[in-house]
Amino acid sequence: MPIFGCVADDFTGASDAASFLVKGGMSVQLFNGIPAKGSRVGEGVQAIVIALKSRTQDTGEAVADTLRSLGWLKEQGVERFYLKYCSTFDSTPKGNIGPAADAAMASAPRLLMADWMMILEIQNTMPCRPAGSPIRKTGAR
Q: What is the CA radius of gyration of the chain?
A: 14
Tens digit of pLDDT for each residue in 8-49?
999 999 999 999 999 999 999 999 999 998 898 999 999 999
Residues 6+ apart with CB under 8 A from 134: 141
- Cα–Cα dist 35/41, whole Å: 10
What is the model's pLDDT at position 125? Answer: 38
Is the predicted pLDDT of residue 117 greater than 70, yes or no? no
| Percent of the chain topping pLDDT 90 | 44
> Given pLDDT bands bounded at 50, 70 and 90, which one contains residue 87?
low
What is the model's pLDDT at position 118? Answer: 38
Is the predicted pLDDT of residue 108 greater than 80, yes or no? no
Angle (CA) 26 21 67, round 5°:
105
